[in-house]
């Protein structure tokens, strides 16, 4: 039986993450992802995914040093970025810059050190490009700052508040990894050919940039901007539902109950901005949307997903809309790299079949008449 899009087809074994959509579970290497996000740093979570265990103090110091050493972009990559058209979207810039790093030292088999270097460079690529487009000077990486804090620093040139750093860090940890999604599958397929880490990550970025995969938080922001005030939420949402249109940030292909990432991010959002008017609007829209969805689509269990609260957090920390998917990419590269490493350890070439539905040559006997 054909499974269009390979839905439900098990194509690999993995020890990296586990998703139970019915129970609303997301597990990273045996730990609840929401607990990791609320109590551990980006570096600790990345170590867990790459090495299969939480780091001790020495492990963490080594990883921190390696990440910081990998932040700088080679001059030739900066030159390439400078030559790209101004209207080239950020995801395409990241894809091009990462591809340009694919020199001979990246080769089969992939190594954790390569995962660390590529992860370290993505925030620098984003910040370098953003500031160049704004006519601002490059902000060099700050070796005194951790991964997430340095990312925010390079974007603005100002030391970010601890509250904003933890908010973004929570989001980035929650989006490090999410099973065999489209971009992760792309990375594993490319790696299965024994192509190197850079090519596998480039494949994943090309997949992530598609609007069906990586663009949802900006759509939520647009929805909240259009609603504008609490009083307008119910009539606005009712109009959408009566037209049969989707409410952005509600429902998930996998989770049939509350998205555990949304639960953790909601908690963090409340911690950083309980008095923030934007967050208050988001909370009201969530409550109203859940009530109306139960009215219009009873039993469907369509709750807010991680993208809904990602939009709220990103707005609270003043992250530009066009950086939502690139920031998602800056976190998900950890999961992609973990899957590339896992694929390489037990490699089997992905080679699915397809069913031919086209024409066949006419019968030769009939053709002779």
Closest CA to 170 of 337, 27, 35, 290: 35
Whether residue 368 is predicted with pLDDT greater than 60 in this model: the reply is no
Same domain, 94 and 179: yes
Contacts of 284 (CB under 8 A, 6+ apart): 230, 233
Q: What is the pLDDT of residues 224-265, one digit of tens each?
A: 889 988 999 999 999 999 988 888 888 776 766 777 888 888
Which residue carries 């620098």 as its tokens?
124
For 330, the token pair is 């800056």
Specify the pLDDT at position 55.
98
- Does 365 reside within a domain? no
145-173 pLDDT per residue, tens: 999 999 999 999 999 999 889 989 999 99
Query: Do residues 126 and 91 lie in contact, with contact meaning Cβ atoms separated by under 8 Å?
Result: no
Check 117, 177, 307, 342 and give the catalytic one: 307
Give exposure, 243-268, as e/b (b: 16+ Cβ within 10 Å): eeeebbbbbbeebbebbbbbbbbbeb
355 domain-assigned: no
**pLDDT-derived band at 188, boundaries 50, 70, 90:** very high
DSSP lists the bridge partners of residue 184 as none
Q: What are phi and psi of 304, to 5 degrees?
A: -65, 145
Of 119, 116, 122, 117, the C-alpha closest to 90 is: 122
| 89 labelled catalytic | no
Choice between 43 and 10, residue whose per-residue pLDDT is larger: 43
Whether 6 maps to a domain, the answer reads: no
**Last residue of some domain: 316, 333, 359?**
316
Q: Is the pLDDT of residue 328 over 60?
A: yes
Contact 306, 263 (CB under 8 A): no
- Would you say residue 354 lies in a domain? no
Residues 38-52 have a mean pLDDT of 97
- pLDDT band of residue 60 (cuts 50, 70, 90) is very high
Q: Annotated catalytic, 252?
A: yes
* Same-domain check for residues 137 and 220: no
Same domain, 114 and 258: no
Task: Give me the CATH number covering residue 242.
Answer: 1.10.230.10
Q: Which residues contact 105 (CB under 8 A, 6 or more apart)?
A: none
Statement to judge: residues 296 and 199 lie in one domain: no
Could you give the number of structural domains in the chain? 2
Task: Please name which of 180, 83, 194, 156 lies closest in space to residue 164, comparing C-alpha atoms.
Answer: 156
Q: Examine residue 186 and state whether it is found in any structural domain, yes or no.
A: yes
Candidates 252, 286, 339, 342; catalytic one: 252
Residue 5 lies in a domain: no
Q: Which residue, 329, 317, 321, 177, is CA-closest to 260?
A: 177
- Assess if residue 303 is contained within a domain: yes
Same domain, 168 and 240: no
Same domain, yes or no: 113 and 202: yes
Provide the CATH number for the domain around residue 195: 1.10.580.10
Residues 180 and 39 in one domain: yes
Same domain, 56 and 126: yes
247 and 167 in one domain?
no
- Shared-domain flag, residues 135 and 56: yes
Q: What is the pTM of this model?
A: 0.89
Would residue 8 count as lying in a domain?
no
For residues 79 and 184, membership in a common domain is answered with yes
Q: Which domain holds residue 256?
A: 216-316
Evaluate if residue 88 carries a pLDDT over 70. yes
- If asked whether residues 182 and 38 sit together in one domain, one would say yes
């Amino acid at each position: 039986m054909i499974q269009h899009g390979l839905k439900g087809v098990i194509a690999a074994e993995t020890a990296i993450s586990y998703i139970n959509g019915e129970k609303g579970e997301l597990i990273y290497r045996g730990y609840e992802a929401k607990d990791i996000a609320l109590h551990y740093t980006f570096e600790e979570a990345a170590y867990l995914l790459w090495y299969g265990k939480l780091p001790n103090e020495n492990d963490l110091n080594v990883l921190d040093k390696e990440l910081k050493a990998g932040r700088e972009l080679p001059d030739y990559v900066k030159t390439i970025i400078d030559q790209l058209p101004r209207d080239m979207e950020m995801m395409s810039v990241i894809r091009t810059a990462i591809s340009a790093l694919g020199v001979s030292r990246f080769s089969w088999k992939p190594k954790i050190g390569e995962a660390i270097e590529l992860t370290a460079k993505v925030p620098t690529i984003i910040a370098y490009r953003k500031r160049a487009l704004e006519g601002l000077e490059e902000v060099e990486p700050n070796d005194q700052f951790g991964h997430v804090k340095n990312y925010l620093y390079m974007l603005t040139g100002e030391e970010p508040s601890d509250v904003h750093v933890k908010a973004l860090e929570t989001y980035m940890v929650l989006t490090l990894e999410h099973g065999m999604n489209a971009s992760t599958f792309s990375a594993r397929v490319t790696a299965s050919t024994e192509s190197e880490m850079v090519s596998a990550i480039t494949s994943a970025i090309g997949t992530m940039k598609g609007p069906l995969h990586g663009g949802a938080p900006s759509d939520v922001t647009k929805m909240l901007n259009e609603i504008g005030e609490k009083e307008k939420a119910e009539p606005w949402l009712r109009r959408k539902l009566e037209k049969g249109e989707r409410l952005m940030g509600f429902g998930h292909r996998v989770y049939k109950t509350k998205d555990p990432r949304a639960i953790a991010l909601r908690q963090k959002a409340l911690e950083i901005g309980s008095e923030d008017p934007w967050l208050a609007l988001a909370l009201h829209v969530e409550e109203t949307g859940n009530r109306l969805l139960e009215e219009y689509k009873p039993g469907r269990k369509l709750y807010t997903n991680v993208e809904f609260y990602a939009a709220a957090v990103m707005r609270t920390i003043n992250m530009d809309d066009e950086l939502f998917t690139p920031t998602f990419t800056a976190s998900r590269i950890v999961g992609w790299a973990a899957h590339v490493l896992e694929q390489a350890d037990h490699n089997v070439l992905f080679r699915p079949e397809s069913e031919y539905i086209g024409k066949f040559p006419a019968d030769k006997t009939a053709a002779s008449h």
